[in-house]
């Protein structure tokens, strides 16, 4: 199952706050006339959920979502390990959120949130909710079942899958950067430092350590061949798959965290 399906509600959060800024409407607890009404109101639930995540109150925030059974069993140490990923995802949640409407149908609801302050743009993002024990929580029934099946393993698992998908993208970008470098250097390929110097790779990624993975480039003796390798910085925590890439494409294999040196006997792992 792809990560976009596996963490549907988190993807909604990420999509809302990485590219846009919400129009102004303060998130205020006193908007409800009573605590009971606030709990049962989908709009207030969504606003409170985002407010808590923005304030880095992850345990309290995820308790208002289908991820409750995944977050509550974690130890303080496990939560601390996940905090950098949470901060990266939720850092751009603004102080104000504007909900433009909602609709409910039995045990499910949808809240519509405006993701731009442009009055000529009528589009709104959808946030899904389900009702559990008379309380609205952010998320959907399918994700809830996944959380129940994985329990405390849910967040560590999706973190690894997210890192692996990011690693796949970076491997493809390395291939693209090498092609540009080769075109500019008479068919020769370069190291990461060479790519940075030639402005084909961001200086901020020069170390090769990106989102839980360590990337290296190996060059042939005449620099007319290259091989890119990517391994998890912490096997079974930041990722499981190791990656290999050359001009043929990107390949992945669980090598126990060791360097993956080629696509032999891969089957369908490409």
What sign for the dihedral angle of Cα 93, 95, 101, 104? Answer: positive
Residue 75 token pair? 């130890």
pTM of the complete model beyond 0.75: no
Please tell me the distance from the alpha carbon of residue 263 to that of residue 270, in angstroms, as a whole number. Answer: 8
Q: Give yes or no for a contact between 5 and 79, defined as CB atoms under 8 angstroms apart.
A: no
Q: Contact 226/242 with Cβ under 8 angstroms?
A: no
pLDDT of residue 118: 64
Architecture per CATH, 157-253: 2-Layer Sandwich (3.30)
pLDDT at 169: 97
Number of residues that make up the chain: 270
CB atoms within 10 A of CB 19: 10
**Half-sphere exposure at residue 104, Cβ-oriented, CA atoms within 13 angstroms:** 12
Domain parsing of the chain, residue ranges: 3-139, 157-253
Residues of the chain short of pLDDT 50, as ranges, are 1-9, 11-38, 265, 268
Closest alpha carbon to 49 in 9, 21, 20 = 9
pLDDT at position 20, please? 38
pLDDT score, position 170: 98
**In which region does residue 223 sit, left (phi positive, over 0), alpha (psi from -120 to 50) or beta (all else)?**
left
* Torsions phi, psi for 238 (to 5 deg): -90, -10
Long-range contacts of 14-18 (CB under 8 A, 24+ apart): 14/89, 15/125, 16/113, 16/115, 16/125, 16/127, 17/90, 17/92, 17/93, 17/94, 18/92
Query: Of 170, 253, 254, whose CA–CA distance to 210 is shortest?
Result: 170
Which pLDDT value is given to residue 188? 98
pLDDT, residue 92, reads: 75
Amino acid 208: pLDDT: 97
Nearest to 257 by CA among 229, 232, 224, 237: 232
Percent of the chain clearing pLDDT 90 (strictly above): 62
CA–CA gap between residue 71 and residue 50 (Å, rounded): 16
pLDDT of residue 4: 36
């Amino acid at each position: 199952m792809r990560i976009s399906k596996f963490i549907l509600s988190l993807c909604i959060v990420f999509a809302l706050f990485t590219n846009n800024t919400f129009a102004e409407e303060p998130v205020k607890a006193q908007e409800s006339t009573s605590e009971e009404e606030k709990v049962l109101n989908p709009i207030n639930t969504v606003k409170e959920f985002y407010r808590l995540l923005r304030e880095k109150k992850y345990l309290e925030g995820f308790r208002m979502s289908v991820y409750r059974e995944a977050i509550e069993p974690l130890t303080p140490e496990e939560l601390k390990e996940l905090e950098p990923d949470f901060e990266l995802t939720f850092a751009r949640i603004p102080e104000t959120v504007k909900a433009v409407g909602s609709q409910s149908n039995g045990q499910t609801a949808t809240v519509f949130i405006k993701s731009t302050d442009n009055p000529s743009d009528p589009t709104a993002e959808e946030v899904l909710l389900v009702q559990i024990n008379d309380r609205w929580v952010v998320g959907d029934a399918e994700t809830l079942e996944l959380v129940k099946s994985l329990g405390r393993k849910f967040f560590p698992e999706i973190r690894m899958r997210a890192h692996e998908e990011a690693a796949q993208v970076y491997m493809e970008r390395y291939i693209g950067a090498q092609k540009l470098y080769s075109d500019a250097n008479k068919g020769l390929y370069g190291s990461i430092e060479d790519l940075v110097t030639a402005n084909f790779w961001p200086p901020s990624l020069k170390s090769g350590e990106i989102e839980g993975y360590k990337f290296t480039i190996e060059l042939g003796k005449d620099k007319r061949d290259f091989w890119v390798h990517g391994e998890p910085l912490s096997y079974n925590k930041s990722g499981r798959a190791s990656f290999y890439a050359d001009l043929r494409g990107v390949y992945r294999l669980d090598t126990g965290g060791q360097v993956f040196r080629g696509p032999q006997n891969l089957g369908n792992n490409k």
